[in-house]
Structure formats: C-alpha cells, structure tokens
Amino acid sequence: MTTFLVGLVIILVVIIVARIMRILELTEELCPQDDAQEQQKENNWNAKILLAFLVLMFSYVAYESFNYIKFLLPVSASKEGVISDKMLWINFGVIGIVFVFTQILLFWFGYSYVYKKGKKAFFFTHNNKLEFYWTLIPTIVLLGLIGYGLKVWNDIMLKPAPDNAKVIEIYARQFDFTARYAGNDNKLGYAYYKLIDGTNRLGVDATDVTSHDDILSTELHLPVNQPILLKMRSQDVIHSAYLPEFRVQMNNVPGMTTQFCFTPTITTEEMQKITKNPKFEYIMICNKICGAAHFTMKMHVVVETPEQYNEWLSKQQTFIASMTK
Amino acid sequence: MNPHQDATSGHEHDHNDQEVNHWSEAWWKHHGTHQPHSFWTKYVFSQDHKMISKQFLITAIVMGVVAMSLSTFFRLQLGFPGQSFKILEFFLGKWAPDGVMSPDFYLSAITIHGTIMVFFVLTGGLSGTFSNLLIPLQVGARDMASGFLNMLSYWFFLVSSIIMLLSLFVEGGAASSGWTVYPPLSALPQAISGSGLGMTLWLVSMVLFIVSALLGGINYVTTVFNLRTAGMTMWRLPLTVWSFTVTAILGILSFPVLVGCMLLLIFDRGLGTSFYLSDIYMGGQALHYSGGSPILFQHLFWFLGHPEVYIVLLPALGLTSEVISTNARKPIFGYKAMVYSILCIGFLSFIVWGHHMFITGMSPFLGSVFVFTTLLIAIPSAVKVFAYLATLWKANIQLTPAMLCAIGVVSFFISGGITGLILANSALDINLHDTYFVVAHFHIVMGSSAIFGMFAGVYHWFPKMFGKMMNRKLGYAHFWLTIISVYGVFFPMHLIGLSGVPRRYYNNESFAIFDQLNGVNAVISLFAFLGAIAQFIFIFNFFYSIFRGKKATQNPWKSTTLEWTTPVEAYHGNWTGAIPEVHRWPYDYGKPNGKEEDFIPQTLPLEEGEVDAGGH
Ligand code: HEM
Ligand SMILES: [Cu+2]
Ligand SMILES: [Cu+2]
C-alpha cells in the first residue's frame, strides 16, 4: 500500500512539473525572444558564477583543510614514517601550486573570454615552443618527484632488515590479528595451515625447535627504538595490517608471507603527551575488505620502553608451554 | 523515401542481410531507400548505430539511477551510522531491519555501486552511447562496419545489466567483496554471504558484459580504419574519434585478460581448482586448495583494471575536446599533441597496473618500476590539461550546459590527477592505500570527470539523437548543483583518508581515533544527497525534452564536423544523398577569412591559397 502511494505521489509530482514547464514554454512562445540574445544573457551570468565558484571552491578547500588539521594523524611514530611524511608535504606543496594555478586559469578564462557577438576568437592552432616547454617542465618536476620517491621507497622497503631486527609475525584471520614473537632465538618456528586446530590456532609446528620459544599474543607490544621486522600471514582471506600512526601497512595474504620492517620511535605514553590525549592508544587495523565484520578487525598496539617491554614479555607463555599444558 | 514503396529490392529482411556490413556506395544505391519499418526493427532489434546508441544511453541511465540510489543508501549509513531511516526500510526491506542497513547489505551496496558505475555506466554507457553515435557520423560512414554485431553488443549489454540487477535480489545478497572482487573473499561462500549465488551472477554478468564490450570495440576500430569518407585522413579525425578508437583498442587488448581472470575464478569457485587459493583454513577446517596465489588474480585484474580507468576517461576527454573547441569558437590547441598524448596514455596504461599492488608483498624493486611508469603517465595528462587551457585563452566562449560540463571535466581531471601523483609515489601509498584518499582520488579523476564528460556529450549531441533541444536553464541548474556536490563530497574524503580511515568500513565506531570525524561524514552525506537530487533535474530534462523539447535545427552549435550535415530526422544510412567529402581538419573555428561566420565545415573545400590548419 505505501509502495503504491509513494509511486502515485512521484508520478503526480512529475506530471505537475512537466505541466509547469509546458506553461512556462507557452508563455515564452507568446512573447518570442531572440534566442541568441537569450543565450548571451545566460552566458553572462554563468560567467559570473564560474568566477564565484572558483572563489567558493578555494574557500571551501582552505576552510575544510584548516579546520581539519587537528584531525590529521599525529606526528609519525616510526623512523620510516618521518621521512615519508616529509615527502608527503613536499609533494602536497608541488601539487598544491599546480592545483591553484591551473584552476585559476581554467575558471578565469571561462569568465573573461565569454562570448561576445561579432567577435572572433584568436585562431591559435599550436605553438611548438610553448608545447615543448610545457612538456619539458612537468617532465623535469616529475623526474624530481620520482627520484625522491624512489629514494625514500628504497630506504623503507628495499634495504635488508638490520640483523638486530626483532621478528614478529602478524597472523590475520576473520576477524582478528594475533602476534607471534620469535622468542630468544629470534626465529619463528615453521607453521602450516593443516596443523591448525583448537589449541594450535596458528598451525605452528611443535616439532620445529625454533618454535618452542615463540610467544603468542593478542596485543602487539613493541620496544621503542628497536627495529621490528613484521612477518605477515593470513589464515583465510586477504587482510591488511595497517598501523596508521607508524605509516606502516602490508597485506596479509593466505599462502605466502609478506613483511615490513620499521622502527617505532615514540612510546604510547609519550604520544599521549604529544596528542594531549591521555586515552591515546596505537592500533593496528584491517585495511583490506575481508568479510562482514571487516570494520571491527583490529589489534591493540603498545610501544614501551625496553624495560617495560621485557617485563611484559616475561609474563607471556611460550608456545611450547601452551601446547603441553 | 517512403519505406512502403520500396518493394523493388526484393529483400524482406534487409536488416538481417549480410550485405548490410558493406555499406558500399553501390550497395547503398541499390538498397539505400530501405528504412526499417516495423516497431521491432526500428526501436528494438535495430541495427542503426544511432538507435543502438540511444538504447545504450537509456539503459545506462537506468543503471546509473540504481547505482546512485545505492550510494545514497550507504551514505545514510556512513553519515548517520546506526540511525533508523524509514526510507531504507522501505527500499531495502529485510536488508535494513528497523531502518538500519545491515553490514552485509552495506558491502553488497558498495560492490554493486562500483561495478555498475565503472562498467555499466562509464564503460558500456559512455562508449556504447558516444562511440556508436559519433564514429559513423563523424568519419562519414553510413553505419558501423557490422550493424548486426553492433546490435548483439547492445543485447549482451542489456542481458548482463539485467543479471547484475537481479543479483541484488538473491538469497544471501549480491556480490560483496568490492568491485575488484579479490579472492579468496570472492571465491569462498563461507567467507562472506555475498560470495554465493550473488557472486556467481556477478561473474556471469561480467563475462557477458565483456562480450558486449569486445563486439562493440571491434566494430568501432574497424569502422574508423575502413569506412572513413573520401578526404577523411587520420589527421582530419575529430579528437572524439581518436579517443574512441584508442579506447576501443585498449578494450580489445585488456578485456580478454579479464575474461581469463574471471574464468579462473569461476573454476576455483565451481570446479575446486586452486588458481588463486592456497593454504586456507576456514569454518573449522583446512581447505584442500594448494599452490595458487591470490596475487595472481590482482595482476590479471589490474592488467585490465588500469587500462579500464582510461577506457572510462578517454572518451570523456574526447567529448570534452570537441565540446570545448566548438563552444570556445576556437580550434583545439595542439591537435597533434593531443593525439600523441592519447596514444601515449593508451600505451602507458598497460604498464602501470602494479601501482594498485605496492603493498601486496610484490617485490619492492618491481614496485619501483611501476612508480616510474605511473608517474610518466602524468606527462601526457599534463599536456592535455595545458592544451585545454590554451584553447580557452582568448576564446569566444558560449557557456552552454555542455560547455560548462566540459569545463567541469577539466577541473576534475586536474584535481584528481594531482592526487594520483601522491598515490603513485609508492612510499606515500604505504599509508594511503585503501584509505578514503584513494576513494577521493578516483571518484574525482575517473568518476566525476567521466560522468561530466557524459553529461557534456548528452547536452551537446541531444539534438542529433532526438532532434530536439534540451532545456538550457534546467541544464545550468543541474550543472551547478552537481559540481558543487562533487567537490563537497570528495574534497573532504582526502582529509579523512589522511587521517587513516579505511575505505569499505560499515562504520568507524570500533576506532576511537575516528570518532571526531562524524561531523565531516555527515557533511559529505548531505552533499551526496544534494548531488543525487540534482540528477533528477537532468533525468527530467532528458525525458521531457525527448517528447516536448524545442525542435532542433540542423546545426545548432554551428559545428564543423560531419554529424551536423545529416538531416535532423534520424535516417538509417545517415545521409539521404551521397556521403559528403572532407576537405579540411575539424577545428576551423574562428579562422580569419574575412567572413562573418566563425566556423568552416569540414565539407567546405579549401579556398585558393588556403592551408589546412591541421596539416596532414
Ligand atoms: C596522473 C595520473 C594518475 C596517477 C599517477 C594515478 C595513480 C593511481 C594510483 C597509484 C592508484 C592506487 C592507489 C591505491 O590503491 O593505493 C590509483 C587508484 C585509482 N585510480 Fe588513479 N592515477 C592517475 C589517474 C587516474 C585516472 C585518469 C583514472 C581514471 C580515469 C584513475 C582511476 C583510478 C582508480 C579507479 C583507482 C582505484 C581503484 C581501486 O582501488 O578501487 N586514476 N591511481
Ligand atoms: Cu581483515
Ligand atoms: Cu591504475
């Protein structure tokens, strides 16, 4: 019944609007106007709106950005993030200039070269010199950006992890993460999905001795200023371990191991001071659509001093202990 | 030309006649007076490219309305999470118990929204409408090389559209793993309910869609290469035709890869193969799949996927070039540079796909290569933007609705292109990948530019399609409201992305750090509703004008190109007489020749001593 009524109302509205249009058109026909003149009038006010829109758009962009600054991610809590953040802002500087410059030209031209009867446009088909420069300059700028970008990318991703990097596995499944610390030997024991069962959630192979000292945890604790090598795996679908405050992200892909190496530099406590938010906590969130509850998938992250970290670690149960319980 | 008098040729079913494909002038002299006479052959099983283009357009509009409605539904959820809305209950029924959209439906909605917009509206709708309408008309051909294949192309498109819509109604819901349908999520019904029947229908629909795109593409390319009228050299083709052709070639080269990609997914789903699956433990048991790689799917998908974004964008830029030049009453600046840019973009678009996969565990070195190629694409893109700006400089601009939309395209192409530079920088992408920053980037550069290109095309060529003019005032209202809502919606999304908010989240309530963003999300939603309402102005204008619009004159925009030399009443065969010959490039607007008219049609021979400004 409601469906019917709603449909009826919509049809009526459309009919009424069409009727009104028709009446307007008929009245126009009664006192016919020169269409060219009419178009000229419309040109003129559209030109003004173009200009107004330009101003409006810049104001909106400026206003929103300005208001938003306090919501942006805080200063990067990892060494790698600091260099990529710096590059981000330099890049924003470059594209910001391009944005402002080209949008102004676009809307300004639209405004100032609006149609005038009897005028002819400037017949300007091409100009090799102009075209050469506006190909060359973007090329140079882009090569600069590429070079800079690749340098940073290499520093973050291509450099082999330092020997002292602490190995931690991030194991994802619908819909949570588990961390596996490599233990004293800093080696993760072999794991295979067919070994998974109720007590051995990650399918770690207990016959591999390097697994014995591994430690499983549902919270990720990291010692500050210590290189960390995260090894990612997944149990079911693709997930993505994303640590926004550290500018770290890597997919967890079933059937393979991926990795990301970074060094946290700010403890949770320090970050609470920096953000002036006593409740601040680091998080790892899942950033690859992975199922109905994708939007709830996360892990709590704590960065602490080495002492606090060691204390926390010593309280955790090793893998072999949990299996022989 | 009364069709009923035509019994002489003796063909009852001329439209099924193989010879239709040839369209030689001799053939035309013999059969030319055959106009389709029944309702079925004229409106339904038409082989006339002009009718087929209208069929594509109207189907795409219907699909667009569905996709847009889905987006307003999920914007209600995102802007006002958890609040109850009667309208959701009304439209979604069991998917929105008590007026709150369920998380499952949310994922289906974004998936189908994306799929419809990218493929059905901006690929099928855009190329299907304008390549079909304009290629034969602008190159001077009686019809497409094969009217029959062209008809099939539409029917495959229609069937695939219907299947896609039906998939919204099946048990378990429509596909819900995102428009990129990454396995294993899309492969295993246990992983998400939408990966059951809904996903099967999605795959079937997409395979049919690709058949349609390929049939269309082959036809477009053949027509452009073989059926150009006398004097229409490649360097005299309007930029529309250039971009449609390159688009079609991109489609022909990349869509088959997508078929392969989908086929392997179908095998994994149905036959238990392991192309994309390995080492999966789900629902309390270890699955048998072994040895496959989900990353292989992404390589195959994006090998199409990136050219696809240019399949969407290039036609829009082609339409924009034509509309800008005509309404600026000035030649497009750097015609040849424009053509080379299109070719360059087309080529480069095949070697950049890895920029969607920087953090999938792909070798970082390979990532560097993709950074390099991706950033190179910005060069031809920049050249195009500068050329548009130079075209507007010292022009004499008619700000028709089509022209305004074309200006909008350029504006979006700039705003969205520059954020591409950020994303293409792999080190920056680590933190931005899969956040709202990406959503903002591609909605502006692809979604909005291409949609505005399509609007520009409709406003501009409506007189050619329907012999009527659209209402200009409604056009202005539609344009201004839409451009305001586009920036209103998508600009703040960049900022949200910079805060690290992931895309495809049903709500952000699990994360305290995002709590403060509720206000911004509400603002975005309000702009989205404004934009949606504005589209009804367009749809009303469109259908009203078909029936009640002012009658069009033959060449309402004072254009130079061939489509405006055909009669106002659509005629199967396009020109009632001989096909006109071409003597000059398509952009002789404002040429100083001492005459009052500021344009010279392509059909006018060069005068003594006059040089063709395009060169050959
Ligand atoms: C200056 C040129 C451009 C560059 C450098 C560029 C770069 C990128 C990069 C690196 C991504 C991946 C971001 C990520 O997922 O983390 C991306 C995403 C995307 N781009 Fe662009 N882009 C450019 C232009 C375009 C154009 C012209 C279009 C469309 C016509 C487009 C459409 C898309 C789409 C649809 C996605 C997202 C796909 C998805 O994940 O759902 N881009 N772009
Ligand atoms: Cu997940
Ligand atoms: Cu791409």
Closest CA to A169 of A133, A115, A214, A138: A214
Q: Are B359 and A240 a contacting pair at CB < 8 A?
A: yes
CB atoms within 10 A of CB B24: 12
On the question of pLDDT at B157 being above 50, the answer is yes
pLDDT tens readout for residues B351-398? 999 999 999 999 999 999 999 999 999 999 999 999 999 999 999 999
**DSSP conformational letter for A113:** T
Q: Is residue A17 part of a domain?
A: no
Q: Is residue A104 part of a domain?
A: no
Rounded mean pLDDT, B312-325: 95
pLDDT of B236: 92
Nearest to B337 among A71, A123, A131 (CB): A131
Provide the residue type at B502 as one letter: P
Query: How remote is the CA of residue B420 from the centroid of ligand 3, in Å?
Result: 9
Query: How remote is the CA of residue A283 from the centroid of ligand 2, in Å?
Result: 14
Q: Is residue A15 part of a domain?
A: no
Tokens at residue B557, please? 């925009």
Q: Tell me if B429 sits within 8 A of B491, measured CB to CB.
A: no
The per-residue b/e assignment along A181-201, b for 16 or more CB within 10 angstroms, e otherwise, is bbbeebebbebebebbeeebb
Closest CA to B89 of A221, A18, A3: A3
What pLDDT band is residue B594 in, cutting at 50, 70 and 90? confident
- Which of chain A's residues have a Cβ under 8 Å away from the Cβ of B376? 142
Confidence (pTM): 0.92
Q: What angle do CA A26, A31, A33 make, to 5 degrees?
A: 105
On the question of pLDDT at B42 being above 90, the answer is no
Nearest to B397 among A110, A203, A255 (CB): A110
Q: Are A110 and B293 a contacting pair at CB < 8 A?
A: no
Query: How remote is the CA of residue A126 from the centroid of ligand 2, in Å?
Result: 53
pLDDT of B364: 92
Tokens at residue B107, please? 């994922």
What pLDDT band is residue B95 in, cutting at 50, 70 and 90? confident
Query: How remote is the CA of residue B299 from the centroid of ligand 3, in Å?
Result: 12
Query: How remote is the CA of residue B306 from the centroid of ligand 3, in Å?
Result: 4
Please report the number of interchain residue pairs, chain A to chain B, with beta-carbon separation below 8 angstroms. 356
Rounded mean pLDDT, B520-540: 93
Can you list the alpha helix ranges (DSSP code H) found in B192-238? Answer: 197-226
Tokens at residue B108, please? 């289906």
For B519, name the nearest residue in chain A, comparing CA atoms only: A68
Torsion of CA A317, A318, A324, A325, to 10 degrees: 0
Half-sphere exposure of A271 (CA within 13 A, CB side): 24
Q: Is residue A40 part of a domain?
A: no
On the question of pLDDT at B11 being above 50, the answer is no
Beta strand A258-262 with A228-234: parallel, antiparallel or unpaired? antiparallel
Q: Are A287 and B435 a contacting pair at CB < 8 A?
A: yes
Q: Are B484 and A125 a contacting pair at CB < 8 A?
A: no
CA distance B445 to B305: 15
Structural domain span for residue A309: 166-324
Tokens at residue A142, please? 């882009």
pLDDT of A32: 67
Q: Is the ipTM of this complex over 0.90?
A: yes
Q: Is residue A21 part of a domain?
A: no
Looking at CA atoms only, how far is residue A189 from chain B in angstroms?
17
Nearest to B375 among A146, A232, A250 (CB): A146
Query: How remote is the CA of residue A294 from the centroid of ligand 2, in Å?
Result: 5
pLDDT of B28: 63
Q: Are B392 and A113 a contacting pair at CB < 8 A?
A: yes
Beta strand A282-286 with A298-304: parallel, antiparallel or unpaired? antiparallel
Looking at CA atoms only, how far is residue B438 from chain A in angstroms?
12
What pLDDT band is residue B39 in, cutting at 50, 70 and 90? confident
pLDDT of A15: 84
Rounded mean pLDDT, A40-55: 92
- Which of chain A's residues have a Cβ under 8 Å away from the Cβ of B372? 146, 150
Residues in contact with A50: Cβ distance below 8 Å, sequence separation at least 6, in sequence order: A107, A110, A111, B399, B404, B407
Q: Are A43 and B397 a contacting pair at CB < 8 A?
A: yes
Q: Tell me if B132 sits within 8 A of B52, measured CB to CB.
A: yes
Rounded mean pLDDT, A73-85: 93
CA separation, residue A182 to residues A188, A195, A213, A233, A299 (Å): 5, 18, 7, 14, 18
Residues having CB closer than 6 A to ligand 1 are: B 180, 309-310, 312-313, 355-356, 374, 377-378, 381, 417, 420-421, 423-424, 429, 432-433, 438, 441-442, 445-446
Q: Is residue A175 part of a domain?
A: yes
pLDDT of B17: 40
On the question of pLDDT at B10 being above 50, the answer is no
Q: Is residue A120 part of a domain?
A: no
Residue B283, sorted as left (phi over 0), alpha (psi -120 to 50) or beta, turns out to be left
CA distance A80 to A261: 9
What pLDDT band is residue B6 in, cutting at 50, 70 and 90? very low
Nearest to B294 among A60, A235, A253 (CB): A253
pLDDT of B19: 39
Nearest to B511 among A153, A156, A283 (CB): A283
Looking at CA atoms only, how far is residue B492 from chain A in angstroms?
7
Residues in contact with B543: Cβ distance below 8 Å, sequence separation at least 6, in sequence order: none
Rounded mean pLDDT, A131-147: 93
Residues in contact with A41: Cβ distance below 8 Å, sequence separation at least 6, in sequence order: none
CA distance B154 to A257: 45
- Which of chain A's residues have a Cβ under 8 Å away from the Cβ of B613? 123, 125
The residue whose CA has the least distance to atom 4 of ligand 1 is B420
Q: Are A138 and B382 a contacting pair at CB < 8 A?
A: yes
pLDDT tens readout for residues B540-574? 999 999 998 888 999 999 999 999 999 888 788 88
Provide the residue type at B123 as one letter: T
On the question of pLDDT at A90 being above 60, the answer is yes
Looking at CA atoms only, how far is residue A214 from chain B in angstroms?
21
CATH number of the domain residue A177 falls in: 2.60.40.420
* % of chain B surpassing 70 pLDDT: 94
Q: Tell me if B212 sits within 8 A of B158, measured CB to CB.
A: no
Looking at CA atoms only, how far is residue A316 from chain B in angstroms?
26
On the question of pLDDT at A290 being above 60, the answer is yes
Q: Are A154 and B591 a contacting pair at CB < 8 A?
A: no
Residue A303, helix vs strand vs coil: strand
Instruction: Report the nearest atom of ligand 1 relative to the CA of B421.
Output: 5
Domain total in chain A? 1
pLDDT of B304: 87
pLDDT of A67: 86
Mean pLDDT of chain B: 89
Closest CA to B571 of B129, B44, B34, B31: B34
Q: In what order do the strands lie in the sheet with A166-173?
A: A215-217, A176-181, A166-173, A228-234, A258-262
Which fold does the domain B50-278+293-565 belong to in CATH? Cytochrome C Oxidase; Chain A (1.20.210)
Burial of B10 (0-12, 13-18, 19+ CB in 10 A): exposed
The number of angstroms, rounded, from the C-alpha of B103 to the middle of its chain's C-alpha atoms is 29
Least confident of A67-81, A86-100, B19-33, B328-342: B19-33
Q: B291-295: which pairs have CB atoms within 8 A and are 24 or more residues apart?
A: B292/A255, B292/B268, B293/A253, B293/A255, B293/A256, B294/A238, B294/A253, B294/A254, B294/A255, B294/B182, B294/B183, B294/B184, B295/A253, B295/A256, B295/B357, B295/B360, B295/B361, B295/B362
Query: How remote is the CA of residue B541 from the centroid of ligand 2, in Å?
Result: 45
pLDDT of B273: 92
Cα radius of gyration rounded to whole Å, chain A: 31
Q: Tell me if B409 sits within 8 A of B317, measured CB to CB.
A: yes
Q: Tell me if B410 sits within 8 A of A108, measured CB to CB.
A: no
- Which of chain A's residues have a Cβ under 8 Å away from the Cβ of B472? 39, 42
Which candidate in B431, B434, B494, B560 is best for mutational testing of the A interface (most A CBs within 10 A)?
A: B431
